[in-house]
Amino acid sequence: MNTTTPSRSALPPHPASPASSTSPAPSLLWIANARIIDPAAQRDAAGEIFVKDGCFVDSLSAADKAAARKIDAGGLVACPGLIDIQVHLREPGQLHKETIGTGSRAAAAGGFTSVVCMANTTPPGDNPATIQLIHDAIKRDSVIRVYPTGCITVGMKGETLAPIGSLARAGVVAITDDGDCVQSNEIMRRACEYAKMFDLPLLDHCQDHALTAGAVMNEGEVSTRLGLRGWPNAAEDIIVARNIILSLYTGAHVHMQHLTSAYSVELLRAAKARGIRVTGEATPHHIALTDEALGGYNTNFKMNPPLRTEADRQALIAGLKDGTIDAIATDHAPHANYEKDREFDHAPFGILGLETSLPITLSVLHREAGMPLLEVIDLMTRRPAGVLKLHDGAGTLAAGAPADICLFAPDEKWRYETARGFSKSQNSPWDGQELTGRVHTTICAGKVVYDQGRITADAGRSE
């Protein structure tokens, strides 16, 4: 038997495509009366969208229009399908929290058509066999595009480099030990060298473990008042600085995951001004919440990295507005109820994010901070696609690109209830709250996979 894995360049043009359906999706789609927002084309105008054989086209013939499935958007925003470059789908090994099937459905409900899953599974994604297992699950169960990452080190222990070349050939889009920052500068240097050799971005969870042992929330006035062990900003800042130095030294692309510290934003801004190959992301929860939210010891506000101060929150918003921070990413981290329902010190870090990302981001960046809607959508489509160099045409509505679309009402109010969501878990700080901005329809590769609160038959296998 030939067990050779395909090289990354030999993979299909649009890897990790949705699972096939027993009833094929319509080959012709016509979306009328939409407010079209396409950041790649700097377009924000009323118009129509046409799809043929899973890709965007400039127009349809009269005969094709007559045969097409027509969606009257009724003024809804039509933008490229949202893209999330940091999610935890927990498969393999932690299926009580999430699966690729349930996580991809939660993503579709949130307007996402492409997500990048982290390698901290059980076992970790540190070898081609595990990556192939993930690919197989994606092909079988996912309703959207899912892209796997591989580990930086074996077992995510930070001691020995994983076989990065083999992982690249197995089809990972990046390497990361997300959840366990590599502490050895020497190991990280070698990882950068190999990542550059194989043209893979290196994603880093920036945390100096020596400064955070036993810490459960941000270090400051609130942690002192609550009697909880604090986690200083410096634990992030030191690793961000290290990564910038190593990127300059090796030429590797290093991406800082879920930034939280005002000084880290300054470091990234200065590095970019020097042309160093570094990028960064922020989460909806870190731009919306502060450590004051932990006053009730609610473990659904416990996350890694922790919620910071209002000054840090404002620095993140400023970094997103001026382009220092490249993308919004959810860090979707599901946990079972019985795991979160513990003393604050012992509960796991992490919250859900996929189904609430768009409304939270709109509320903070568009309504609070005054960013134009086109620029906010850019942070959730074109720009994250560019960070990881996803498939050609990702994050755009251009003719010839895969027809990935999110239709949403930016001002519609709705109540989010985790028990009615698509994730297997319910650990969200926004459970039961009224949110503004609602996804109506998600289309992936020309197939309507989510519509008006339900996963459609076109999405393939149901749960």
CA–CA dist 419, 199 (Å, integer): 41
For CA atoms 30, 31, 33, 34, give the dihedral sign.
negative
Report d(CA 368, CA 244) in Å as an integer: 31
Residue 357 neighbours by CB under 8 Å, 6+ apart? 82, 84, 110, 112, 284, 328, 330, 380
* Closest to 447 measured CA to CA, from 142, 37, 93: 142
Cβ atoms of 364 and 371 closer than 8 Å = no
How far, in Å, CA of 128 to CA of 397, rounded? 33
Torsion over CA: 16, 131, 383, 195 (sign): negative
Please name the amino acid found at residue 362: L
* Phi, psi angles (nearest 5°) of residue 328: -95, 130
Closest by CA to 25, choosing from 77, 71, 60, is: 71
On whether the CB atoms of residues 398 and 56 are closer than 8 A, the answer is yes
Give the CA-trace dihedral at 355, 360, 361, 364, to 10 degrees: 180
Query: Which residues are CB-contacts of 4 (< 8 A; sequence separation ≥ 6)?
Result: none
Dist. CA 181–CA 193, nearest whole Å: 17
| Coil, strand or helix at 142 | coil
Contacts of 7 (CB under 8 A, 6+ apart): 168, 169
Alpha helix ranges (H) inside 218-309: 221-226, 234-250, 262-273, 284-288
Between CA 190 and CA 452 the distance in angstroms is: 48
Point out the residues that are catalytic.
Answer: 331
What distance in Å separates the CA atoms of residue 329 and residue 346, rounded to the nearest whole number? 26
Mention every residue, 6+ apart, whose C-beta is less than 8 A from residue 358: 82, 110, 111, 380, 406, 408, 437, 439
